[in-house]
Amino acid sequence: MSVEAITIILVLITFAVYTGIGWWSRVRDTSNFYVAGQGVPTVANGAAIAADWMSAASFISMAGLVAFLGYDGTIYLMGWTGGYVLLALLLAPYLRKFGKFTVPDFIGDRFYSSTARSVAAIATIFISLTYISGQMRGVGIVFSRYLQVDIIIGVLIGMAIVGFFALLGGMKGVTWTQAIQYFVIIIAFLIPAFAISFQLTGNPIPQLALTTSDIVDRLGQIQVELGMTEYMAPFTDLSMLNVLMMTLALMAGTAGLPHVIVRFYTVKSVRAARWSAVWAIVFIGLLYVTAPAVGAFAKYNLIDTIADKPIEEVQDIDWVNKWETTGLLQLDDANGDGIVNFTGDDQNEVMIDGDIIVLSTPEVANLAPFIIALVAAGGLAAALSTASGLLITMTSAVSHDIYYRIFNKKASEAQRLRVGRITLFVALLIAAYVGINPPGFAGEVVALAFGLGAASLFPVILLGIFDKRMNKEGAVAGIITGLSFTLITIGLILSETIFGTDGPIIESFFGVNAQGVGVIGMLLNFVVSFIVSRVTPAPPADIQQLIESVRAPEIDEEGR
| Direct distance between the N- and C-terminal alpha carbons of the chain, in angstroms, rounded to an integer | 57
Task: Give yes or no for a contact between 437 and 497, defined as CB atoms under 8 angstroms apart.
Answer: yes
Whether 558 has a pLDDT exceeding 70, the answer reads no
Cβ-proximal residues to 535 (8 Å cutoff; 6+ apart), any chain? none
**Mean pLDDT calculated for residue range 263-286:** 78
SS3 assignment, position 411: coil
DSSP letter at 470 equals -
What letter represents residue 106's amino acid? Answer: F
Q: What is the Cα–Cα distance from 432 to 155, expressed in whole angstroms? A: 6
The stretch 276-303 carries a mean pLDDT of 88
**Residue 244 burial by CB count (10 A; 0-12/13-18/19+): exposed, middle or buried?**
middle
Rounded Cα distance, 110 and 268, in Å: 21
Q: For residue 174, which of 276, 313, 47 has the smallest C-alpha distance?
A: 47
Could you tell me what percent of the chain has a pLDDT over 70? Answer: 90
Angle (nearest 5°) at CA 10 between 390 and 16: 60
Other beta carbons within 10 Å of 44: 20
pLDDT on residue 60: 79
- Using H for helix, E for strand and C for coil, what is the string for 430-467? HHHHHHHCCCCCHHHHHHHHHHHHHHHHHHHHHHHHHC
The pTM (predicted TM-score) of the whole model is 0.85
Query: Cα–Cα distances in Å, from 456 out to 129, 470, 475, 530?
Result: 15, 15, 10, 14
Report the run of H or E that residue 321 belongs to, with start and end.
helix 318-326
Looking at per-residue confidence, does 105 or 438 come out higher?
105
88: DSSP letter = I
Higher per-residue pLDDT: 554 or 194: 194
Average pLDDT in the chain = 84
pLDDT at 177: 73
Which is higher by pLDDT, 123 or 263? 123
Q: What is the DSSP letter of 289?
A: T
Q: What is the pLDDT of residue 467?
A: 93
Instruction: Measure the CA–CA gap between 305 and 268, rounded to whole angstroms.
Output: 52
**pLDDT over 90 for what percent of the chain?**
29
pLDDT tens-digit map of 305-355: 888 899 989 988 988 988 888 888 888 888 888 998 888 666 788 888 877
- Using pLDDT thresholds of 50, 70 and 90, give the confidence band for residue 39: low
Higher pLDDT, 231 or 386: 231
**H helical segments located in 327-441:** 357-364, 369-396, 413-436
Q: Which domains does the chain have, with CATH numbers?
A: 31-551 (1.20.1730.10)
Given pLDDT bands bounded at 50, 70 and 90, which one contains residue 293? Answer: very high
Residue-wise pLDDT for 457-472, tens only, equals 999 999 999 999 999 9
Q: Give the other-Cβ count within 10 Å of 553's Cβ.
A: 8
- DSSP character string of 171-218: HHHHHHHHHHHHHHHHHHHHHHHHHHHHHHHS-S-HHHHHHHSSHHHH
